[in-house]
């Protein structure tokens, strides 16, 4: 047995059972940890492991413990704030307290952090403004949860006015050294941090930044190799779509129109036609994340707008050239040019796919993404794998024993990858009952006039179930309209019962989860956010109600994009049903979190039993072990009986000889040695990404410039070093020709650096750049001065 294997087994067999208060380890948890240890071995040729580990496996500890063995930098990416909070407060805190982990940081997405500079400009109540200002001085990390823990809940619409908008705002802010948000975010890539917990979107954006020659938000390029854990990997494709697509919002179009002076009336009329073509979407969209084809009238209006924009841009360029024959167009595009470029892509059906997307605030965006989307995902995964060993984990990656659906979504299997599927530890037959009421009608679209009446039927059934469970219920909706209708129907009934009803959006996700957990009889109603990542063990959650089978949107252009040349039946069987089944597993997975848990999983959708695909749905659920019923009295009996029982379920006995131990863990592992110290890493290669060749080039340039100081400048990224060298070459007349001789890391970096160098030094579209000659500027300034005097 090698040291790595001994380390893993000792932790899970001896140390962790005492932490959980149980007598024996969980087989699936130990097996997951051992398998991950296997691919992390220096002898392993496998670079990526895709793990299907059901709820209750203990995936987080199973991934963390073997990953921390070498002391390599670990990036742990999730899709939900709930899981990030759990990692911070439970697993990472435990490992830190027991000396197995040094420093760690949770790097949330930008929208979770306060921007103190925005408080003064925001429309806020005086008391809230005072609280936010106070928080902006005294906060530890500057995130929304921390604010709510000290000052109480803040609603989404108010937080959106003061939240951080972009990552770059912190980088170039003059308050970053005193602002709690800026100070906290500066730790994301600090060399003393051993574990960075982030989200899929920030990690993927970091990969894209590096490809484009920009600074990554989370630097994944670790000298000597690092480790990336992608938890909740079922959401990875959605995160990739967010990062690889572009959005044309109606506000963006209006900003472009506001730059148009000539032909303003015609542009405005065309914009109104575009809005009219999309009004039907803004009335009663039936899903929380809806994608719909752009109507023909809308496409025609966009085409006409683009023609007008291009004509106006051409006129502007012609006017500049007539004023100044030496005029050259700026590399920094105006908002008008940026808008026209996105519209070009929307209209380019051969290379791009686009759709209308409506969010919960009824804002309309048009999203466009390249038709090479699946290939682009695989490229991003392989880029991360160049520097790291990777583990993708979820309880819903395999559908009925097959990983084919998720691997297809990712554009094919990652390089040098393997898969691992584990079965559940739980005794579902004794712990859970599946209930599908007989009298619930088939779902109808929210645009149907009968939709409120349909929701009322659902609400009546929900109220009955809440009464039986004594509260303790999670209600999962598939649309924001459904959420609102049900909330206002059931709230009066719960008020009379003295039961708190928590609603998504009333406060942060983490705080809602905490309130739900600590108020045992409370009820939480939400949508997509709470399908995954929410872990409420014990009697605070004994009833999960899913209002509808979570199929993707009908006629979704994105599904058509990834389906490529599939037939309708293949799309249904190979894409739509697997996606629905994955989402269904996620919903049901909120119910049973420990061996002491019990409860009812209700699906208010008769299609579970009366469709051609029903057999697949029932097989998925019954193979897990659920007992099935359509009789409400059986649900009542089951919950009442379990409420007063203990010891009704047991884990299968753990024995080490049941483990499948990789053969490479039976031989001594090569010791891991850092190639450079943390201090050296910070100053040279990581996390700033400057290569040794670039550092050597910088040192030579210093010598030629006669710089005697031994202290090297600190650069945040390769491009900052590049810009410094160009200026040094010009100021000292070294004749280095930095642009031509700089040791670029690759061709892409060379292209990006040269392109960026050609841009104006202040690429701020809000700054008006004069097209007048220096003499004309001087004359106008002199005239203006005389008038003022």
Q: Would you say residue 54 lies in a domain?
A: no
Find tokens 């007063």 and name the residue: 644
Q: Would you say residue 119 lies in a domain?
A: yes
Q: What is the pLDDT of residues 703-729, one digit of tens each?
A: 888 887 766 777 767 888 888 888 888
Domain identity same for 453 and 587: yes
Q: Would you say residue 473 lies in a domain?
A: yes
Write the DSSP symbol of residue 530. G
Domain identity same for 508 and 587: yes
Q: What is the pLDDT of residues 353-377, one digit of tens each?
A: 999 886 655 567 899 999 999 999 9
Torsion of CA 464, 468, 471, 473, to 10 degrees: -80
Is the per-residue pLDDT at 327 higher than 80? no
CATH classification at residue 348:
1.10.275
CA 232 – CA 536 distance, rounded (Å):
17
Find out whether 311 and 345 touch, Cβ atoms under 8 Å. no
Q: Would you say residue 633 lies in a domain?
A: yes
pLDDT at residue 330, rounded to an integer: 52
β partners of residue 503: 525
Average pLDDT over residues 548-575: 88
The three-state secondary structure class of 37 is helix
Domain identity same for 602 and 723: no
CA 53 – CA 425 distance, rounded (Å):
10
Q: Would you say residue 405 lies in a domain?
A: no
Grade residue 268 by pLDDT with cuts at 50, 70 and 90. confident
Q: What φ, ψ does residue 358 adopt, rounded to 5°?
A: -115, 125
Average pLDDT over residues 159-172: 85
Q: Would you say residue 329 lies in a domain?
A: yes
Alpha-carbon separation of residue 70 from 96, 347, 682 (angstroms): 15, 51, 19
Q: Which two tokens stand for residue 466?
A: 């809440």
Q: Write down the pTM of the prediction.
A: 0.76
CA 448 – CA 425 distance, rounded (Å):
43
CA 292 – CA 552 distance, rounded (Å):
11
Residue 706, CB half-sphere, CA atoms under 13 Å: how many?
A: 4
Domain identity same for 697 and 637: no
pLDDT at residue 506, rounded to an integer: 85
Tell how strand 226-230 and strand 74-78 pair up: parallel
Helix (H) / strand (E) element for 114: namely: none
Q: What is the pLDDT of residues 300-322, one digit of tens each?
A: 889 988 888 888 888 776 666 66
Is the per-residue pLDDT at 64 higher than 80? yes
Residue, of 463 and 681, whose pLDDT is higher: 463
Mean of all residue pLDDT scores within the chain: 84
Q: What is the maximum alpha-carbon separation in the chain? A: 94
pLDDT at residue 287, rounded to an integer: 43
Grade residue 21 by pLDDT with cuts at 50, 70 and 90. confident
pLDDT at residue 773, rounded to an integer: 44
- Give the residue from 329, 353, 369 where a domain finishes: 369
Average pLDDT over residues 251-270: 78
> CB-based burial of residue 658 (10 Å sphere; 0-12 exposed, 13-18 middle, 19+ buried)?
exposed
- Give the residue from 187, 220, 236 where a domain finishes: 187
Domain identity same for 183 and 286: no
Find out whether 58 and 651 touch, Cβ atoms under 8 Å. no
CATH classification at residue 573:
3.40.50.300
pLDDT at residue 633, rounded to an integer: 96
Range(s) of the domain holding residue 163: 109-187
pLDDT at residue 68, rounded to an integer: 93
> CB-based burial of residue 599 (10 Å sphere; 0-12 exposed, 13-18 middle, 19+ buried)?
buried
- Give the residue from 164, 187, 210 where a domain finishes: 187
CA 522 – CA 540 distance, rounded (Å):
8
> CB-based burial of residue 263 (10 Å sphere; 0-12 exposed, 13-18 middle, 19+ buried)?
middle
Burial per residue of 132-154, b for 16 or more beta-carbon CB atoms within 10 angstroms, e otherwise: beebbeebebbbbbbbbeeeeeb
Tell how strand 290-292 and strand 352-358 pair up: antiparallel
Alpha-carbon separation of residue 427 from 422, 598, 625 (angstroms): 15, 10, 7
Domain identity same for 637 and 508: yes
CA 273 – CA 287 distance, rounded (Å):
25
Average pLDDT over residues 110-125: 88
Write the DSSP symbol of residue 12. I
Tell how strand 364-370 and strand 352-358 pair up: antiparallel
Q: What is the pLDDT of residues 381-421, one digit of tens each?
A: 999 999 999 999 998 898 888 899 899 999 999 989 999 99
The three-state secondary structure class of 628 is strand
Q: What φ, ψ does residue 592 adopt, rounded to 5°?
A: -105, 115
Q: Which two tokens stand for residue 324?
A: 């100044």
Is the per-residue pLDDT at 772 higher than 50? no
Pick from 585-599, 630-644, 664-678 the range whose average pLDDT is largest: 630-644
Closest to 113 (Cα-Cα) out of 131, 88, 135: 135
Q: What is the pLDDT of residues 582-599, one digit of tens each?
A: 999 989 989 998 888 999
Find tokens 């299968």 and name the residue: 652
Find out whether 542 and 521 touch, Cβ atoms under 8 Å. no
How would you list the strands of the sheet with 290-292, edge to edge? Answer: 246-249, 364-370, 352-358, 290-292
Q: Which two tokens stand for residue 190?
A: 């600090």
CA 617 – CA 413 distance, rounded (Å):
26
CA 28 – CA 36 distance, rounded (Å):
12
Domain identity same for 441 and 514: yes
* Domains: count for the chain: 4
The alpha-helical segments, DSSP class H, found in 139-235 are: 144-151, 156-162, 167-171, 180-185, 200-211
Q: Would you say residue 665 lies in a domain?
A: no
Domain identity same for 579 and 478: yes
Grade residue 325 by pLDDT with cuts at 50, 70 and 90. low
Domain identity same for 555 and 622: yes
Distance of CA 442 to the CA centre of its chain: 33
Concatenated DSSP letters for 60-94? HHHHHHHHTSS---EEEEES-HHHHHHIIIIIHHH
Alpha-carbon separation of residue 375 from 51, 230, 372 (angstroms): 22, 19, 5
Domain identity same for 183 and 256: no
Domain identity same for 506 and 567: yes
Q: Would you say residue 523 lies in a domain?
A: yes
Find out whether 47 and 415 touch, Cβ atoms under 8 Å. yes
Q: What is the pLDDT of residues 419-463, one digit of tens each?
A: 999 988 889 999 999 999 999 999 998 878 899 999 999 999 999
The three-state secondary structure class of 152 is coil
Is the per-residue pLDDT at 477 higher than 50? yes
pLDDT at residue 735, rounded to an integer: 82
Find out whether 257 and 271 touch, Cβ atoms under 8 Å. yes
Q: What φ, ψ does residue 543 adopt, rounded to 5°?
A: -145, 120
| Tally of CB atoms within 10 A around 571 | 16
Closest to 589 (Cα-Cα) out of 2, 59, 72, 20: 59
Concatenated DSSP letters for 228-287? EEE-SGGGHHHHHHHHH-EEEEHHHHHHHHHT--TTHHHHHHHHHHHHHHTTTHHHH--S
Domain identity same for 580 and 488: yes
Find tokens 């605030």 and name the residue: 361
């Amino acid at each position: 047995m090698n040291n790595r294997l001994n380390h893993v087994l000792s932790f899970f067999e001896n140390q962790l059972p005492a932490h959980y208060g149980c007598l024996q380890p969980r087989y699936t948890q130990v097996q997951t940890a051992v398998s991950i240890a296997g691919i992390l071995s220096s002898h392993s040729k496998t670079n990526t492991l895709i793990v299907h580990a059901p709820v209750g496996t203990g995936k987080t500890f199973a991934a963390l413990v073997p990953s921390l063995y070498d002391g390599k930098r670990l990036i742990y990416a999730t899709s939900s704030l709930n899981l990030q909070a759990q990692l911070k407060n439970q697993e990472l805190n435990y490992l830190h307290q027991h000396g197995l982990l040094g420093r760690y940081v949770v790097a949330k997405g930008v929208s979770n952090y306060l921007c103190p500079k925005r408080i003064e400009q925001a429309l806020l109540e005086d008391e809230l403004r005072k609280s936010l200002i106070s928080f902006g001085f005294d906060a530890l990390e500057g995130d929304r949860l921390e604010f709510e823990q000290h000052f109480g809940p803040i609603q989404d619409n108010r937080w959106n006015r003061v939240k951080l908008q972009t990552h770059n705002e912190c980088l170039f802010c003059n308050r970053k050294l005193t602002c709690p948000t800026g100070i906290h975010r500066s730790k994301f890539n600090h060399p003393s941090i051993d574990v960075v917990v982030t989200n899929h979107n920030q990690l993927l954006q970091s990969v894209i930044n590096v490809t484009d020659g920009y600074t990554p938000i989370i630097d994944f390029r670790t000298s000597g190799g690092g480790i990336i854990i992608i938890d909740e990997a079922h959401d990875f494709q959605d995160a990739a779509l967010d990062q690889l697509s572009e959005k044309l919002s109606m506000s963006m179009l209006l900003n472009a129109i506001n730059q148009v002076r000539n032909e303003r009336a015609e542009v405005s009329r065309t914009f109104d036609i575009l809005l009219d073509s999309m009004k039907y979407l803004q009335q009663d969209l039936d899903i929380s994340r809806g994608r719909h084809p752009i109507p023909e009238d809308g496409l025609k209006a966009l085409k006409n707008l683009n023609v007008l924009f291009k004509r106006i841009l051409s006129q502007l360029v012609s006017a500049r050239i007539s004023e100044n024959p030496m005029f050259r167009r700026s590399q920094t595009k105006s908002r008008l040019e940026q808008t026209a470029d996105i519209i070009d892509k929307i209209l380019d059906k051969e290379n791009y796919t686009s759709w209308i997307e409506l969010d919960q605030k009824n804002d309309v965006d048009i999203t466009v993404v390249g038709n090479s989307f699946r290939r682009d995902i695989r490229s991003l995964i392989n880029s991360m794998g160049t520097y790291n060993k990777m583990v993708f984990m979820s309880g819903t990656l395999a559908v009925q024993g097959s990983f084919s659906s998720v691997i297809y979504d990712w554009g094919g299997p990652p390089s040098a990858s393997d898969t691992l599927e584990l079965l559940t530890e739980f005794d579902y037959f004794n712990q859970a009952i599946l209930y599908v009421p007989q009298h619930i009608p088939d779902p109808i679209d929210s645009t149907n006039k009968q939709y409120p009446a349909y929701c009322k039927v659902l609400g009546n059934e929900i109220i009955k179930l809440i009464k039986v469970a004594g509260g303790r219920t999670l209600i999962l909706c598939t649309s924001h309209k459904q959420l609102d209708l049900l909330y206002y129907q059931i709230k009066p009934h719960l008020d009379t019962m003295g039961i708190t009803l928590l609603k998504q959006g009333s406060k942060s996700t983490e705080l809602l989860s905490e309130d739900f957990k600590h108020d045992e009889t409370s009820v939480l109603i939400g949508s997509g956010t709470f399908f995954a990542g929410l872990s409420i063990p014990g009697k605070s959650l004994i009833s999960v109600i899913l209002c509808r089978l979570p199929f993707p949107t009908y006629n979704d252009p994105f599904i058509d994009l990834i389906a490529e040349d599939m037939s309708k039946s293949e799309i249904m069987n190979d894409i739509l049903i697997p996606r629905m089944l994955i989402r269904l597993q996620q919903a049901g997975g909120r119910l049973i979190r420990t061996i002491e848990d019990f409860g009812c999983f209700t699906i208010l959708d008769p299609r579970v039993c009366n469709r051609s695909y029903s057999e697949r749905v029932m097989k998925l659920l019954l193979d897990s072990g659920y007992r099935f019923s359509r009789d409400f009295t059986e649900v009542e009996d089951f919950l009442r009986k379990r409420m007063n029982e203990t010891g009704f379920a047991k884990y299968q006995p753990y024995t080490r000889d049941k483990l499948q131990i990789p053969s490479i863990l039976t031989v001594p592992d090569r010791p891991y040695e850092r190639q450079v110290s943390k201090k050296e890493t910070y100053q040279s290669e990581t996390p700033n990404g400057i290569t040794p060749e670039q550092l050597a080039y910088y040192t030579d340039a210093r010598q030629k410039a006669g710089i005697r100081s031994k202290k090297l400048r600190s650069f945040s990224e390769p491009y900052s070093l590049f810009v410094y060298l160009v200026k040094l070459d010009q100021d000292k007349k070294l004749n280095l020709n930095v642009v031509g001789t700089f040791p670029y890391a690759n061709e892409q970096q060379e292209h990006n650096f040269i392109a960026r160098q050609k841009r104006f030094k202040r690429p701020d579209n809000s700054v008006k750049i004069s097209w007048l000659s220096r003499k004309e500027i001087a004359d106008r300034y002199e005239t203006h001065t005389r008038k003022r005097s």
